[in-house]
Chain A
């Protein structure tokens, strides 16, 4: 895919994460989502569940371009950020199961796991929120003047929200250190991209706000990282925001309640699976199949351990909620 603009010079190098490590993270994410599909089936994880199978490269590639101290805002489909930022997955799974050891003590669930120590502030289940929060983080970061950046993850569905327009204008107007990653998975729930937006090349929207944009193959983890790296470098050196559109595909249901029937099977056949693409590239560069198998096995074991940790975690204390209501409303806190 073509870059609309060239990244400027003077970009700081991203931390050294090689393709093998990116592959390992994507495999971990795939294992997590596959385990979650089972946990939902077993009733151990309840409520809506938005998996990202097929979209691993976009989120993993983007977070690999960040440095300590940067912030990330995310969507209702945030697992790539959880894995990409290195959240402890036992606690993360505990949160998704509503257990006491979850990062949010079971109050947030799978869509609302913030982790301040890992720069995740945070995901939201409302389409468009990640854009608005990023404006606020960007304002705070610009004021602090420490060269910190916010990665705002959003999707093709959100580009049609008012929040997108309001946020894009503000990050451009105030030259905020924000990188907007549009994960274009080509469906807003059941509605295909060309049925919910006329200009399907979403990165072209950025021109209207006067900010640079780039469209990349969202299934190529290195391409995503490179594009986001360029954008992060520009933001860090006070060059303002960039929009990166990563074109990918959701190769799983929208959520647990998805009745299906709207995706054309032919679409999926022509797809490049991001893990397969990375694996082929690793082999072509001289990695041995056993190394990949070893990485796959390690990821599976890590997720199995995380699931076991979460299942062993106790339920949170409901008395905390009663105390909170009393603090807010006194005796009328019912």
Chain B
């Protein structure tokens, strides 16, 4: 084990896999000379050269579309899209390209494409730099969408993504890049389809995504003072969704809160709530509760953003209310 930040752990995964597999090529805006706006690709241009680390023009759809071609041609492209919000510009190449060609071409091509992007609010970055849009790619059959919540998973999920033959969207969180944690040295793989129980508990389950995992752990500590024993599960992979792990917890506790930063309506928490309800309805003691951002665009002002974004307090109150209302 070694202590790394989330950004360093991602860098470690890229470096390790690039040494192992010459087919890996990175491309994105500001990832070369500058080392990435969030320093994730720092030092990689110097180590691997300009054929494997490409600074690209500001052409999101073009970069992802080119990467789709590279993947079909036998390379393993890794695209950095600086903000999830900018991924909107590349949705054509994902939804009509990466998600389609391996299927439509009858399996003649594989799609070992990794798209790294980062989302989330809390940095007062305003409505075009704060969104959580992971549901958009998670909606696409054949596309993996994974969200690491800590440095070890950042390394492990990215490493697994770099060995997958299917497209993977890795959604990082801007507020997590500087957080530190213990990370296994050398090869470290985290499966792309497994949720993880990060805190066992008996009275209620909080199923959380990305940065909300940390907030859920804080809430769980506060609730422990009220003699409420809360289980926290890190979803890690939105698709495929590890329904078995989530439903097993729901059956044990009978009370479930699903927490993510994305807007609630038609968001990832809706899908998770539906899947858990379908699988564990008989054992649920109350309807599954969803926690997410208020249904407005993210405001820039530090005075306004906290009203939109859920945090540990929101989660604590949600669990308290759920326990009160449950049969």
Contact = CB atoms under 8 A, between A and B. Distances in A.
Give the bracket for the number of chain A residues in contact with chain B.
35 or more
A162 interface: yes
Nearest to A134: B69
B75 A140 contact: yes
A322 to B, nearest CB: 12
Contacts of A133: 65-66, 68-69, 72, 97
B223 interface: no
B104 interface: yes
A143 B25 CA distance: 10
Contacts of B240: 328-330
A174 B25 CA distance: 15
Interface residues of B, number: 43
A140 B141 CA distance: 27
B323 interface: no
Nearest to B243: A332
Contacts of A71: 73
B67 interface: yes
B275 interface: yes
Contacts of B104: 104, 107-109, 112, 114
Contacts of A170: 56-57, 59, 62, 66
Contacts of A126: 92, 96-97
Contacts of B243: 330-332
B90 to A, nearest CB: 10
A105 B106 contact: yes
A233 to B, nearest CB: 21
Contacts of B67: 136
22 contacts: A103-B108, A105-B107, A112-B105, A114-B106, A121-B108, A122-B72, A125-B96, A126-B92, A131-B65, A132-B97, A135-B65, A135-B66, A136-B70, A137-B72, A139-B69, A139-B70, A139-B73, A165-B59, A169-B62, A170-B56, A170-B57, A328-B239
Question: When A and B form their complex, which 7 residue pairs have the shortest distance between CB atoms, in order from nearest?
Answer: A136-B69, A132-B65, A166-B62, A104-B106, A140-B73, A166-B59, A133-B69
Interface of A: 71, 73, 102-105, 107-109, 112, 114-116, 121-122, 124-126, 129, 131-141, 143, 162-163, 165-167, 169-170, 173-174, 324-325, 328-332
